[in-house]
């Protein structure tokens, strides 16, 4: 029995669900962040999770109010407080009374948190180098330029990759 291999296959009506830009971007983010967490575990920071990064990426080095952290992370104060509790248990952050308003609480990195942040920065840079090596520097520049234009300029991307222009 002969099969006609030249006949084009029809795409399923819902094929867009698997091949859309959001799905591709999401898969890439998942892969990148998984690699960063793997590198963090290798550096002795296996207890932190991606959810903790959602706090630390929004925390200013000099400290930030909880309400501002929640706003930046697009979370409720209660959800942010839970992340702070977890990071405080890990020794990464501490809560203090805000000097300008004793009713408000400010979160800041501990010394251990600053060491974690340094390791996190190194892990991100290594994961970026690996990504660039895999897809090539030209593709990486185009990708970062396009995503910066689409999602808004992110200064750290532009500084880390001078070829990427918003």
**For the chain, what is the radius of gyration of the CA atoms?**
21
pLDDT in tens, 6-22: 666 777 778 787 788 88
CA geometry: angle 72, 43, 37, nearest 5 deg: 45
CA distance 127 to 132: 9
Nearest to 52 by CA among 28, 86, 24: 86
Q: Which of 42, 57, 40, 39 is nearest to 116 (CA)?
A: 40
Confidence (pLDDT) at 25 = 92
pLDDT tens track for 85-137: 999 999 999 999 988 888 889 999 999 999 999 999 999 999 999 999 999 99
Q: What is the pLDDT of residue 164?
A: 43
User: Greater confidence, 130 or 2?
Assistant: 130
> Does the pLDDT value for residue 76 go beyond 50?
yes
Q: How far apart are the first and last CA of the chain?
A: 57
Q: Determine the longest span between alpha carbons in the chain, in angstroms.
A: 83
* Cα 49 from Cα 120, distance rounded (Å): 12
Domain parsing of the chain, residue ranges: 22-135
- Which residues lie across from 108 on neighbouring strands? 94
Asked if pLDDT for residue 30 goes beyond 70, the answer is yes
Which residue is it, tokens 């983010």? 29
Residue found by looking up tokens 């200013």 in the block: 60
- When the pLDDT of each residue in the chain is averaged and rounded to a whole number, the result is 87
pLDDT at position 4: 59
Minimum mean pLDDT among 58-62, 105-109, 157-161: which range?
Answer: 157-161
Q: Which of the four pLDDT bands, split at 50, 70 and 90, describes residue 154?
A: low
Specify the pTM.
0.79
User: If pLDDT is split at 50, 70 and 90, which confidence band does 157 have?
Assistant: very low
Query: Check: CATH 2.30.30.90 for 22-135?
Result: no
> What is d(CA 7, CA 71) in angstroms, rounded to the nearest whole number?
54
Q: For tokens 């020794």, name the residue.
A: 91
Q: Can you read off the two tokens belonging to residue 64?
A: 């930030």
């Amino acid at each position: 029995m002969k099969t006609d291999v030249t006949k084009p296959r029809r795409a399923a009506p819902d094929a867009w669900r698997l091949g859309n830009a959001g799905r591709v971007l999401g898969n890439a983010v998942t892969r990148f962040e998984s690699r960063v967490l793997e590198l963090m575990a290798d550096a002795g920071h296996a207890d932190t999770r991606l959810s903790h990064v959602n706090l630390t990426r929004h925390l200013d080095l000099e400290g930030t109010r909880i309400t501002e952290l929640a706003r930046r992370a697009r979370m409720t104060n209660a959800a942010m407080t839970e992340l702070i509790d977890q990071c405080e248990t890990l020794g990464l952050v501490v809560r203090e009374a805000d000097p300008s308003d004793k009713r408000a609480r400010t979160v800041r990195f501990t010394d251990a948190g600053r060491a974690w942040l340094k390791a996190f920065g190194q892990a991100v840079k290594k994961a970026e180098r690996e990504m660039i090596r895999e897809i090539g520097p030209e593709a990486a520049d185009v990708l970062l330029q396009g995503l910066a234009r689409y999602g808004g300029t992110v200064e750290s991307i532009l500084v880390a990759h001078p070829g990427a222009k918003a």
